[in-house]
Amino acid sequence: MSADVHQEVFIQEATELLQELEESLLELDDNREDMELVARVFRAMHTIKGSGAMFGFENIAALVHSIETSYDLVRNGKLGITKPMLDYSLKACDIIKEMLTDPAMKADSPLALEISAFFTETGGQAPAKKVHEPVSKEALLVRQNLTTFRITFKPSPEILLYGSNPELLVKEVAALGEASVSALTTHMPDLNSIEPEKCYTYWEIILTTDKSENDVRDVFIFVQDESEININIIDDFTGGGDNLKRIGEILLEKGDINNEDLTALMDERKLIGEVMVEKGLVSQDALDAALTEQQHVRQIREQKAAAENISSVRVPSEKLDFLVDLVGELVTVQARLSQIAVKENNQEMLKVAEEVERLVWELRDNTMSIRMLEIGSTFSKFKRLVRDLSAELGKEIELVTHGGETEIDKTVIEKLGDPLVHLIRNSIDHGIETPQERIAAGKEEKGHIILSANHSGDSVLIEISDDGKGIDKAAVLKKAKAKGLVSEGTELSDKDVFDLIFAPGFSTAEKVSSVSGRGVGMDVVRRNIEALRGTIDIASVQGKGTNITLKLPLTLAIIDGLLVVIDDQFFIIPLSIVNECIEFNEAAHRSSSGRRIIMVRNELIPYIHLRSFFNIQSEAPEIQQIVIIELDGRRVGFVVDSVVGDHQTVIKSLGKAFKDIECISGASVLGDGSVALIVDVQKIYTGIE
């Protein structure tokens, strides 16, 4: 592996750590007494510093060092968190981000120096403290809380290639206390197959120290991923000096002898308990109780060990995208298999086809769930945005988030960032008033923006609400009339007025600020959301605040669809909005004075002839079907020739050539290789309305 690869890994890791750091810092701002958060900040900084120095980012290490020292003081209760401290820490995060992309950047940019100076001052000139001071044996013996660890350190054979020297690590551990080190060479291959660049030795260190297991682990922090490190407490000096372990136990613990062998050996002798019972020293009951206890402890330990083994895997997202593509293709092929099986009417093949269908569905659901990410990661970005922007505008705003654990498809999350930033900026700039205005209006000085997410059927609802001044409908109307978007004298409902905000080129801000008001806003937001097959809704009460709701599909790649036929063409209607399908006889309804309304169980439902809407020139069959869908709580019927059934719809884009088509949102390949078009019900509905 080359150094570049390591730098790459470091940059990736550091970026994540920085994000975590930023989150913790922002949380810390709200909750300055939380020592847990301080510790988290400290740990993140410590790791960035350590691995930064290791991979040649000395500039980062130098900068972080000064900050870390201050947080160490906070951690030890010698310093309180202050606002400037957090401000500088956040700025430092930004600088480190830049340094990551540009390693040549020196730590002596004016801002970096300012940050360092600030923290050196608060940190009380604390000198770089040596990580581990060697401890003299005498000093050690009088200390309390001594623990003896057995540390098995099996570095990966490639450790030397990574630039780490295992020997130094071993020495560092040994310096933590009283240690006996044995180097074990059982894995050493014979001379012919030795590769001199590899490390075959492993070490076993018996260490008695007053440090905690974590302190010991810290030594290995940079090699722990590649190396096998086992740290066991073998004696914590709590049980007095006389319960020394038997040699069998020690060997067993070390794994040098396995349990069966030992038991076999032990079985040759009588068990100590049985001997005791025989001699009448203890009763059988007492022995059973003791054995149960032993069993219990063992079980608990095993459970604990199992819990610790649960881990996650980091996978590049391209691989996931590819997996989803493959599953998409598999779904198509499976559809074809099922179709052939039905056509051939081969019982055995039908069985296989069904089995494959079940597996493919499961695979699909599973793959989709892998791509689901918690939306919280996006939310935390906005905390910083709100903090910075509100300071810039002299407003006091708190961002409250709910439902950060709501999961949504990765691609949706990625495309959601920009629209959300825009909406939140709008709330900060146009929505929330200045503290003076708020007090004058009888409101709390501090404004609130609530960002929440939750599931609703197969969609995710994201709400952005603020308690600001709301949308001034009169101002919107006036502006729209001035821009010629509405003609004079038209009566508009509230909803229509709010919809004007999404018209291209519309911006209500009197002044253009750096934050918003350039008028390229809301129409782009709406387009982005619609590109995700989502919808956007505004509700606002003047003086009380604004509430914007985004409704987004859980996933973009595969949906459940209802396959319908018109003429000899296939169309797909998203199943999630389909309410019911009913038979429809045109002739029987012609009487109702030309109005296209059908009565279904005492409810009048308007309907649309998809055939004529799509300009398909052929006679409709006598008996047709109406697919009734529900949109925004209203029901509409779509007349089609016939309904085929449900279809796993792998959505394919129609591409740029068809980007202006309003009534079709995509296409899907059917089992027989033909193409079915996905009907954009929402667009048709709003178009006709």
Burial of 631: CB neighbours in 10 Å, binned 0-12, 13-18, 19+: middle
Q: Please confirm, yes or no, whether 579 is among the known catalytic residues.
A: no
DSSP string, 344-405: HT-HHHHHHHHHHHHHHHHHHHHHHHHHEEETHHHHHHHHHHHHHHHHHHT--EEEEEE-TT
Of 381-389, 406-414, 502-510, 655-663, the segment contacting another protein by CB under 8 A is 655-663
Which one among 658, 665, 671, 682 touches another protein, defined by CB under 8 A? 658
Q: For another protein, which is the closer residue by CB, 320 or 616?
A: 616
Least distance between another protein and beta carbon 331 (Å): 11
DSSP character at residue 531: H
Q: For another protein, which is the closer residue by CB, 83 or 659?
A: 659
Least distance between another protein and beta carbon 643 (Å): 18
Least distance between another protein and beta carbon 640 (Å): 13
Report the C-alpha gap between 134 and 436 in whole angstroms: 60
Of 109-117, 145-153, 349-357, 669-677, the segment contacting another protein by CB under 8 A is 669-677
| Cβ atoms of residues 64 and 51 within 8 Å | no
Report the C-alpha gap between 289 and 354 in whole angstroms: 54
β-sheet with 597-600: strand ranges across: 578-585, 623-631, 634-640, 603-609, 597-600
Q: For another protein, which is the closer residue by CB, 457 or 687?
A: 687
Q: For another protein, which is the closer residue by CB, 669 or 681?
A: 669
Least distance between another protein and beta carbon 650 (Å): 9
Which one among 329, 388, 418, 583 touches another protein, defined by CB under 8 A? 329
Q: For another protein, which is the closer residue by CB, 328 or 470?
A: 328
516: contact with another protein by CB under 8 A:
no
Q: For another protein, which is the closer residue by CB, 232 or 674?
A: 674
Least distance between another protein and beta carbon 674 (Å): 5
| Cβ atoms of residues 577 and 631 within 8 Å | yes
Q: For another protein, which is the closer residue by CB, 453 or 651?
A: 651
655: contact with another protein by CB under 8 A:
yes
657: contact with another protein by CB under 8 A:
yes
Which one among 93, 205, 677, 681 touches another protein, defined by CB under 8 A? 677
User: What is the pattern of x (binds another protein, CB under 8 A) and - over residues 218-247?
Assistant: ------------------------------
Radius of gyration for the alpha carbons in the chain, expressed in angstroms and rounded: 34
**Catalytic one of 23, 46, 430, 647:** 46
Q: For another protein, which is the closer residue by CB, 40 or 609?
A: 609
**Catalytic one of 426, 463, 528, 609:** 426
Which one among 613, 631, 635, 644 touches another protein, defined by CB under 8 A? 613
323: contact with another protein by CB under 8 A:
no
Least distance between another protein and beta carbon 57 (Å): 35
The two tokens of residue 261 are 């062998």
110: contact with another protein by CB under 8 A:
no
Report the C-alpha gap between 388 and 87 in whole angstroms: 10
596: contact with another protein by CB under 8 A:
yes
Which one among 51, 332, 390, 426 touches another protein, defined by CB under 8 A? 332
Q: For another protein, which is the closer residue by CB, 25 or 566?
A: 566
Task: Tell me how many residues contact another protein (CB under 8 A).
Answer: 35
Cβ neighbour number for residue 42 with a 10 Å cutoff: 19
669: contact with another protein by CB under 8 A:
yes
662: contact with another protein by CB under 8 A:
yes
| Cβ atoms of residues 667 and 650 within 8 Å | no
Q: For another protein, which is the closer residue by CB, 135 or 333?
A: 333
What's phi and psi for 24, nearest 5 deg?
-65, -40
Judged by DSSP in three states, 647 sits in strand
Q: Please confirm, yes or no, whether 46 is among the known catalytic residues.
A: yes
- Helix (H) and strand (E) counts for the chain? 23, 21
| Cβ atoms of residues 632 and 642 within 8 Å | no
Q: How far is CA 47 from CA 88, 220, 623, 686, in A?
A: 19, 12, 71, 54
Least distance between another protein and beta carbon 17 (Å): 35
Pairs from 643-647 (Cβ < 8 Å, separation ≥ 24): 643/562, 643/563, 643/564, 643/565, 643/581, 644/563, 644/564, 644/565, 644/570, 645/562, 645/563, 646/560, 646/561, 646/562, 646/563, 646/575, 647/335, 647/560, 647/561, 647/562, 647/563, 647/572, 647/676
The two tokens of residue 568 are 């000899």
Judged by DSSP in three states, 190 sits in coil
Letter string b/e over residues 146-178, b meaning 16 or more CB atoms within 10 A of that residue's CB? bbbbbbbbbbbbebeebebebeebbeebbbbbb
Determine the residue type at 407. E
Least distance between another protein and beta carbon 677 (Å): 6
Q: For another protein, which is the closer residue by CB, 252 or 663?
A: 663
Least distance between another protein and beta carbon 638 (Å): 13
673: contact with another protein by CB under 8 A:
yes
The two tokens of residue 200 are 């075959």
Which one among 21, 277, 676, 681 touches another protein, defined by CB under 8 A? 676
| Cβ atoms of residues 555 and 539 within 8 Å | no
Which one among 221, 616, 620, 644 touches another protein, defined by CB under 8 A? 616
Judged by DSSP in three states, 489 sits in coil
Subset of residues 634 to 653 that bind another protein, contact rule: CB under 8 A: 652-653
Least distance between another protein and beta carbon 97 (Å): 29
Least distance between another protein and beta carbon 687 (Å): 4
Determine the residue type at 67. I
DSSP character at residue 107: T
Q: Please confirm, yes or no, whether 68 is among the known catalytic residues.
A: yes
Which one among 401, 535, 569, 642 touches another protein, defined by CB under 8 A? 569
| Cβ atoms of residues 41 and 24 within 8 Å | yes
User: What is the pattern of x (binds another protein, CB under 8 A) and - over residues 519-558?
Assistant: ----------------------------------------
Of 5-13, 437-445, 520-528, 673-681, the segment contacting another protein by CB under 8 A is 673-681
Which one among 403, 667, 671, 681 touches another protein, defined by CB under 8 A? 667
Q: For another protein, which is the closer residue by CB, 194 or 661?
A: 661
From 371, 515, 301, select the one nearest 429 (Cα to Cα): 515
Which one among 282, 450, 509, 654 touches another protein, defined by CB under 8 A? 654
Residues annotated as part of the active site:
46, 68, 426
Q: List contacts with another protein (CB under 8 A).
A: 329, 332, 569-570, 595-596, 609, 612-616, 652-664, 667, 669, 673-677, 684, 687-688
